[in-house]
Amino acid sequence: MEDLLAKFTTVAARPYDWLRDWKETHDKALMGVSPMHFPEEIVHASGVQPVVLQESDEPVTFGHSYIYPFYCAWARSNLDLLAREKLNLFDGLLFFDECLQTRTAMIIARDRIPFPYYMLLHPPCSLRSPSALVEVEETYEELRADMQQFVGHEITDQSLRESILLYNKNRSVLRRLYDLRRAKPGVLRAREILAIVHSAMVMPKDEHTELLEKLLPQLEARESPPDGRVRLVLSGHLCLAPKTDLLDIIEEAGGVIVDDDLYTGYRYFATDVPVNGDPIEALAKRYLTNFPPSPTRWDPESDCAEYIVDMTNKNQAQGVIILVVKHCEIHSWYYVHIRRVLMAAGVPHLMLETEHETVSLGPERTRIEAFLEMIRAADPDQ
């Protein structure tokens, strides 16, 4: 088991080193894709390997010649990596118009940093408008056409269905992992769970699925960890993986994460693409109606705050820790509503703002410890 976990951790810690090695033995192009809603299956069906671009743990240096320090960590980190030629392992970069910061990063990159291939995917963000389905399908067909031109051959509906099946399979094993964590909180450390999800965004899906399918029976056979820790839901941190040190602090303070709606978490694999019917239509419908609610989309019929409350209740969690990436305006604004809803529902919560340039986690440790003490003090069983 330790060997398997080490494999996931290695990929998550040094994704691009791992991919460089992988590329040497595989004759496949690599495309970096931006978070959070990119239809990777379309890229995969072309024969190109999509990889979700991540925040690096290196400080931003050259990047600030291209983008100001008051942009989000994802935008700054990736422009920095581009500027320092650390993304040269990719044959192209595909951006999803998630918010003004992803779009700005793409516009700046395309204008100032030569790279073999750039593309911005811009489907509507209003998920319930009457023309949304048609518009999303049109956007996805444009992506298909662009990828066909890139690779020089057709992307058939059959190849799309095969990619969807492959991705659905990986999502299902990741959901098994999360079901296991819900049943046995602490069966793995939070940083290990994160590494497994993070590596799924990097590795080819069949390789990742194979490794995880080997790991799961071993985890299922593990004893349930002892009770007594504060059960927590972890929420937010759009587009980026939280720092593992922060997860360690939560656990050292006596908390255990029972579920999450993180992008580098449940959000990435929560739902499948339907396998029947037209594959482009199926991908479009998943985007419009079957993703977990997202602050970056406009959907008056869904509510991220209610989603968090629901998750908390289902898991009998005692509190929620909400991670907001600094300079992420979309999430910061949504937090106003989340805060009110959680307070009205009587769900204790703590909001932490995270930064790319983390100097010290001392204040966060104090706040997390105080939060957990507060929960324990209010719980007669603790």
Partner 1 sequence: MVAKERKANRLKTGSLVGQYLNTYLEEIRRAPQEGKMVAYACGAPIWFMLNAQDIVFVHGEGYGAFSAARKWERPFMEMSAAEGISEECCSYSRTHFGCALMSQTPVPPDNVTPEALLPTPQLAATVHGICSTELAWVRAFHQLNQVPTFVVEVPYIQDVKDEERHHKTTVSRLKDFVAFIEEVSGRPYNWDRLHELMTVIKKAATLREEAYTLGSTHVPAPGTFFDWGVCLGPINYLAGRPETVDFYAKLKAEVEERVAQNISAVPDEKYRILWEGIMFWPKVGALSEKFAEANCAVIGGSYSHLSFWPFPDQIDPERPLESIATFILGSGIANRPPEIFHNRLIQMCKDYSIDGAILSVPHTCRPLAGRLQMVGNRLVRELGIPVVEFEGDQSDINFYSDLRTNYAIDALLEAIASAKKR
Give, as ranges, the residues between 238 and 267 that touch partner 1 (CB under 8 A).
none
Instruction: Compute the distance between CA of residue 327 and CA of residue 315 in angstroms, rounded to an integer.
Output: 30
Q: Cβ 160 to partner 1, closest distance in Å? A: 23
Q: What is the residue whose two structure tokens read 């939070």?
A: 190
Identify the H or E element spanning 96.
strand 92-96
The least CB distance from residue 106 to partner 1, in Å, is 10
Q: What's the closest the beta carbon of residue 100 comes to partner 1, in angstroms? A: 4
Report the residue count for the chain. 382
Rule CB under 8 A: choose which of 101, 170, 318, 354 binds partner 1: 101
Closest C-alpha to 269, from 196, 137, 167, 159: 167
**First CA to last CA across the chain, in angstroms?**
32
Pick the binder of partner 1 from 206, 298, 366, 379 (CB under 8 A).
298
Closest approach of partner 1 to the CB of residue 346, in Å: 18
Is 140 a residue that touches partner 1 (CB under 8 A)?
no
Which CB sits closer to partner 1, 68 or 179?
A: 68
For partner 1, the closer of residues 167 and 287 by Cβ is 287
Is residue 99 close enough to count as binding partner 1 by CB under 8 A?
A: yes
Considering only residues 30, 93, 108, 342, which one is a binding residue for partner 1 as defined by CB under 8 A? 108
CB of 326 to partner 1, least distance (A): 7
| 180 vs 22: CA distance, rounded Å | 30
Among 114, 130, 152, 362, binds partner 1 (CB under 8 A): 130
Positive or negative: CA dihedral 68, 69, 70, 74: positive
Q: Does 122 bind partner 1 (CB under 8 A)?
A: yes
* Stretch touching partner 1 by CB under 8 A, among 148-156, 270-278, 334-342, 364-372: 334-342
Distance CA 33, CA 121 (A): 10
What CA–CA distance (Å, rounded) separates 318 from 312? Answer: 7
Smaller CB distance to partner 1: residue 163 or 296?
A: 296
Pairing outcome for strands 92-96 and 49-52: unpaired
Interacting residue with partner 1 among 13, 113, 120, 345 (CB under 8 A) = 120
- Is residue 126 close enough to count as binding partner 1 by CB under 8 A? yes
What the block records as the tokens of 152 is 């020089």
- Tell me the two tokens of residue 101: 């910061």
H, E, C per residue of 53-92: CCCCCCCCCHHHHCCCCCCCHHHHHHHHHHHCCCCCCCCE
Kindly tell me which residue out of 17, 206, 213, 329 binds partner 1, with binding defined by CB under 8 A.
Answer: 329
Contact with partner 1 (CB under 8 A) among 2, 111, 223, 381: 111
Cβ closer to partner 1: 183 or 344?
A: 344
- DSSP 8-state class, residue 142: H
Give whole-number Cα distances, 97 to 50, 258, 327, in Å.
17, 31, 17
- With CB under 8 A as the contact rule, the residue among 167, 268, 287, 334 that binds partner 1 is 334
Site for partner 1 in 55-74 (CB under 8 A): 65-68, 70-71
- The closest alpha carbon to 279, from 35, 21, 39, belongs to 39
Toward partner 1, which CB reaches closer, 279 or 293? 293
- CA-based nearest residue to 280, from 168, 126, 158, 172: 158
What's the token pair of residue 169?
């399979």
In the complex, the residues that contact partner 1 under the rule CB under 8 A are 65-68, 70-71, 97, 99-101, 103-104, 107-108, 110-112, 120, 122, 124-126, 129-131, 135, 295-296, 298, 300, 324, 326-327, 329-330, 332-337, 339, 351, 353
